[in-house]
Structure 1
Amino acid sequence: MGDMMAKKFQLPLQTFNLILGFMVWVILSSLLSYIKQDIPIPADRLALVTAIPVVLGSILRIPFGYYANVIGSRLVFMISFILLLFPVYYISEANSLSDLIIGGIFLGIGGAVFSVGVTSIPKYFPKEKHGLVNGIYGLGNAGTAISTFAAPVLADRYGWSTTIKLYLILLLVFVVINFFLGDRKEKRMKTPLMKEIKAVYKNEKLWLFSMFYFITFGLFVALTVFLPNFLVTNFELTRVDAGIRTAGFIVLCTLMRPVGGWLGDKFKPNYLLMIVFAGLTLSSILLAFSPSIRLYTVGCLSIALCAGIGNGVIFKLVPQYFSKQAGTVNGIVSMMGGLGGFFPPLILSAIHSITGQYSIGFMALSQVALASLILVLWMHYTDKLKVSDEVFRSTGQGILVTDAAGVIKSINPAFTVLTGLTEKEALNQKPSILKSGKQSRAFYDEMWNNIRTSGQWQGEIWNRRKNGEEYLQLLTINTVRDESGDVVRYVGSFSDITPHN
């Protein structure tokens, strides 16, 4: 009974763990406008301070995802929260830019815990629900919204240093909660990390998913850390107003994540990703024209909508393609998403310092989103070709494909089994190499006359194997034409129907 209760608690428990991790992860960006009143920070270093936590938070996702399989999510979460006590306290006592950077690096542990849940949670649910449950777990992104909204309110009343110390209490509470409610008997896998990496690093799907998540989650993180300061300086909003608007962006993006996972369970994920990247392309173009605050809000919320759905869809795809190495692949993909949040704020800041505007940066973003749309289209059609190739190679019927002149250009493994001829022996030959001599010339004339007039023929025919044995086959020949109606190839499929006494 205790084990059953522990399993039922895992989705809500790990989701709240992620909320806390992300709350801690964005402490600096949430309170930067308050901190810089006490600690001098050069304008060109502001983006660096907010981006620093993203680095370790991204890189650690690979080992965190792996060790979630090795020692279980309960221990990984507990150890993470204990380790976070030190940088949180250190930052609360910071009095220099160096203190903020050093402490900020280790705040990354809060962002790294993301890969723990996406590895652990699917163990408790059937495959057809993986998109939805990973999407629900992804609601933990709301932790960034909670900090972005609540931290400035608390800092107004108690000061930024005391506000940060309050996070220490939350961390200790969650260490205790995980100790008692975490699943001690979670299913574990102990394949060496390098062996798992070697098994997946040549798979192009890994790097495509990484790029897609680099953009969708990267946009979420980037705008989360970029918007509070940008809205204050560019549109002259109050700090609290900017925090509320940023929180709205975060909430919408976060709520769309389980929607994206649920849609991924119901519809073809590739089609959904096409819509996502088309939407991101158009939204980024809108932001590139530096519109009014109203249109800027529309562009940002459109990005939140598309990025949130994309985040959910991608983590529906990962366990679908990498069931045995889900922990490591989740770590690599989510690491790339985290790094996607590191670079845009720095690039936007650098472009602004050179040109005085952000338009070029957003236009570049639109081009990256457009490139991703093209890659999704490519992935979709290569998947279809792969399925066709698998059917071609796995079917029990012998298949040969000829060009318009009747020269064999392709055969499947069943062709070799049925005829004894290898691919090397059959290619660039004519099907007449199989003739037994039992059919008359008139038989073949009638057969080809039917093929020319109706485009196909089916019937019984005696042929000869490589070893000279004659056998009766049921043969179907179909004509393939191009758009102009010209014959481009013939496809023959056959099976052995020789009567046996």
Structure 2
Amino acid sequence: MIKKIQLPLQTVNLIAGFMVWVLISSLLPFMKEDISIPADQLAWVTAIPVILGSLLRIPLGYLTNLFGARKIFMISFIILLFPVYYIAHASAFTDLLIGGLFLGLGGAIFSVGVTSVPKYYPKERHGFINGIYGAGNIGTAITAFTAPVIASQFGWSLTVQFYLMLLAVMALANFFLGDKKEPKVRTSLSEQLRGIAKNEKLWLFCLFYFITFGSFVAFTIYLPNFLVANFGLEKVDAGIRTAGFIVIATIMRPIGGWLADRFHSLKLLMFVFGGYTLAAMLLSFAPSIGLYTAGCLTIALCAGMGNGVIFKLVPAYFPKQSGIANGVVSAMGGLGGFFPPLILALLFKLTGHYAIGFMALSEVALASFVLVIWMYYQDRLGMSAQILNSTAEGIMVTDSKGTIIAVNPAFSKLTGYSAEDVIGKNPNLLKSGLQDGGFYKKMWLDIEEKGFWQGEIWNRRKDGQNYLEWLTISAVKNEAGEIQQYAGMFSDITALKTKSV
């Protein structure tokens, strides 16, 4: 029973954590009325919570594997009581910076569940399961929508204090309902770091999540104040529109994970970054509120889908280091939400508009689109190489002129010739002399007419011993129908032939 409730419990944990994480950005229009905040420092107030929310994800992912999600969630909610109380009584700009920094723990708990929840489900469901858990980021929408409404009635300070009760309830829920017997992973931190640091796939996933989750966080903290300042919307209206952005991105997250369980994840990411490129280009032209809404909604769709797909990919590529890999990737996503608001604020101060910032997002998304295509074809080549190296049959590939260009390990095992012995040479070195010229003439005539030849042939090993093999030679043609290579696959049937005789 306890194991069955871990997914809903941890999803609710994430909702609560994210509700707390965006408290300041959601209530900033109200806080500005009581606290003097320099106009050029507004971006820092909203971005500061993202720092700890990003950096803590790495150790929290690792600690989850050591101690289990129950303890990490419970302790995190208890610690969050202190910065929330401090912010509720803030009276100066510095108070918001200090409180906001430690508020980041609410965002850092993301790596706890994304490390823990997959332990309870088979691998073929990890995309959807992580997507459901990740949908807990709807907590940002709940705060963005409800906090301004409550603050308009009771004031922002009392609104923040309401969150103390939420944190206390969640700490108790984890104490009583968390899984005390969650499987632990005892691999040392240094060993896990060594296992992932040299794998370029990790850093590509970091870049992709930097964009997808980063843009989700950035738009969440940037939209409320931006919509009020640039389009003259009411504060509650701006909160509702921001909540709509968050809801769409949140719904798309499990959908993205579900799609990744059924289709090729990298192909899905091509659609994600293609959509980003077009939407960011639209926003860079500073359109009307209607077109601006269309651009933001497209980014919400792409962000949610991309977030779901990426956390299907991470455990697939790093099954033994999932805790630390999830932490590193999710940390980069959090940092992706830290820098854009600051950059946009700086660009606006220098140029008077945000066009350059959005165009930069478009260019980075386009570069990611190209990198995803590269990864896709690298994976296909890697799969081909794995098949070539692991098959029990010997394989030899020649160019169109008959010069050997590649062999596999099974070839060397069956013939005694290493790759260095044969590459650059003619297959004639394998001839046993037991077949006459007519045999080879008919073989090549069949290859020319049919595109392949198949049959028995005697060849000679490096040690001079003859053996009988079953050989298939195929002509590999390009799109124009021209022969580019010849591929031969063979197996030793000498023993079988001897037994039959």
What is the one-letter code of the residue matched to 1:127? K
Residues 1:119 and 2:131 aligned together: no
1:131 Cα offset (Å): 1.1
Residues 1:53 and 2:49 aligned together: yes
Q: 2:253 aligns with which of 241, 251, 257?
A: 257
CA distance in 2 between counterparts of 1:76 and 1:135 reads: 21
Q: Which residue of structure 1 lines up, in the alignment, with residue 498 of structure 2?
A: 500
- 1:327-366 paired onto structure 2 within 5 Å: 327-366=323-362
For residues 234-273 of structure 1, give each alpha carbon's deviation from its aligned partner in whole angstroms, at most 9, with x where no partner exists: 0000111100110111111111111111111121111111
Residues 1:409 and 2:413 aligned together: no
CA distance in 1 between counterparts of 2:28 and 2:282 reads: 28
CA distance in 1 between counterparts of 2:166 and 2:224 reads: 24
**Secondary structure of the corresponding residue to residue 285 of structure 1:** helix
CA distance in 1 between counterparts of 2:62 and 2:297 reads: 34
Residues 1:31 and 2:62 aligned together: no
Residues 1:464 and 2:460 aligned together: yes
**Secondary structure of the corresponding residue to residue 186 of structure 1:** coil
Residues 1:446 and 2:448 aligned together: no
CA distance in 2 between counterparts of 1:275 and 1:324 reads: 29
Residues 1:183 and 2:198 aligned together: no
For residues 365-421 of structure 1, give each alpha carbon's deviation from its aligned partner in whole angstroms, at most 9, with x where no partner exists: 111111111111111111111111111111111111112221111100010111011
**Secondary structure of the corresponding residue to residue 500 of structure 1:** helix
CA distance in 1 between counterparts of 2:476 and 2:69 reads: 55
1:453 Cα offset (Å): 3.3
Residues 1:68 and 2:83 aligned together: no
1:302 Cα offset (Å): 1.1
What is the one-letter code of the residue matched to 1:88? V
CA distance in 2 between counterparts of 1:427 and 1:477 reads: 18
Residues 1:134 and 2:119 aligned together: no
- 1:383-422 paired onto structure 2 within 5 Å: 383-422=379-418
**Secondary structure of the corresponding residue to residue 405 of structure 1:** coil
CA distance in 1 between counterparts of 2:269 and 2:19 reads: 28
Residues 1:230 and 2:265 aligned together: no
Q: Which residue of structure 2 lines up, in the alignment, with residue 202 of structure 1?
A: 198
**Secondary structure of the corresponding residue to residue 457 of structure 2:** strand
CA distance in 2 between counterparts of 1:94 and 1:148 reads: 20
CA distance in 2 between counterparts of 1:401 and 1:305 reads: 46
Q: Which residue of structure 2 lines up, in the alignment, with residue 273 of structure 1?
A: 269
Gap regions ≥5 residues in structure 1 = none
Which deviates more from structure 2 when the two are superposed, residues 486-495 or residues 373-382? 486-495
Which deviates more from structure 2 when the two are superposed, residues 71-80 or residues 87-96? 87-96
1:17 Cα offset (Å): 0.6
Which deviates more from structure 2 when the two are superposed, residues 451-460 or residues 270-279? 451-460
Residues 1:8 and 2:4 aligned together: yes
CA distance in 1 between counterparts of 2:333 and 2:25 reads: 18
1:308 Cα offset (Å): 0.6
CA distance in 2 between counterparts of 1:371 and 1:242 reads: 32
- 1:137-216 paired onto structure 2 within 5 Å: 137-216=133-212
Q: Which residue of structure 1 lines up, in the alignment, with residue 295 of structure 2?
A: 299
CA distance in 2 between counterparts of 1:340 and 1:227 reads: 16
Residues 1:88 and 2:81 aligned together: no
**Secondary structure of the corresponding residue to residue 50 of structure 1:** helix
For residues 474-499 of structure 1, give each alpha carbon's deviation from its aligned partner in whole angstroms, at most 9, with x where no partner exists: 11111223344433221111111112
CA distance in 1 between counterparts of 2:395 and 2:489 reads: 4
1:209 Cα offset (Å): 1.2
Residues 1:435 and 2:431 aligned together: yes
1:327 Cα offset (Å): 0.8
1:157 Cα offset (Å): 1.6
**Secondary structure of the corresponding residue to residue 87 of structure 2:** helix
* Count of residues in Structure 1 that have an aligned counterpart in Structure 2: 497
CA distance in 1 between counterparts of 2:127 and 2:438 reads: 60
1:434 Cα offset (Å): 0.9
For residues 166-219 of structure 1, give each alpha carbon's deviation from its aligned partner in whole angstroms, at most 9, with x where no partner exists: 111111111111100000000001111121011011112211111111111111
1:126 Cα offset (Å): 1.3
Residues 1:426 and 2:426 aligned together: no
| TM-score (norm: length of structure 1) | 0.97
For residues 281-323 of structure 1, give each alpha carbon's deviation from its aligned partner in whole angstroms, at most 9, with x where no partner exists: 1111111111111111111111111111111111111122211
CA distance in 2 between counterparts of 1:442 and 1:261 reads: 59
**Secondary structure of the corresponding residue to residue 462 of structure 1:** strand
**Secondary structure of the corresponding residue to residue 498 of structure 2:** coil
What is the one-letter code of the residue matched to 1:282? L
**Secondary structure of the corresponding residue to residue 475 of structure 1:** strand
Gap regions ≥5 residues in structure 2 = none
**Secondary structure of the corresponding residue to residue 41 of structure 1:** coil
What is the one-letter code of the residue matched to 1:107? L
CA distance in 1 between counterparts of 2:441 and 2:129 reads: 62
CA distance in 2 between counterparts of 1:135 and 1:443 reads: 61
Q: What do you get for the CA RMSD once the two structures are aligned?
A: 1.1
**Secondary structure of the corresponding residue to residue 65 of structure 2:** helix
What is the one-letter code of the residue matched to 1:171? L
Which deviates more from structure 2 when the two are superposed, residues 400-409 or residues 69-78? 400-409
**Secondary structure of the corresponding residue to residue 104 of structure 2:** helix
What is the one-letter code of the residue matched to 2:17? G
Q: Which residue of structure 2 lines up, in the alignment, with residue 473 of structure 1?
A: 469
**Secondary structure of the corresponding residue to residue 129 of structure 1:** helix
What is the one-letter code of the residue matched to 1:198? R
**Secondary structure of the corresponding residue to residue 132 of structure 1:** helix
1:500 Cα offset (Å): 2.9
What is the one-letter code of the residue matched to 1:21? G
Which deviates more from structure 2 when the two are superposed, residues 337-346 or residues 482-491? 482-491
For residues 331-387 of structure 1, give each alpha carbon's deviation from its aligned partner in whole angstroms, at most 9, with x where no partner exists: 011101101101111111111111101111111111111111111111111111111
What is the one-letter code of the residue matched to 1:371? A
What is the one-letter code of the residue matched to 1:166? F
**Secondary structure of the corresponding residue to residue 98 of structure 2:** helix
**Secondary structure of the corresponding residue to residue 478 of structure 1:** strand
1:90 Cα offset (Å): 1.2
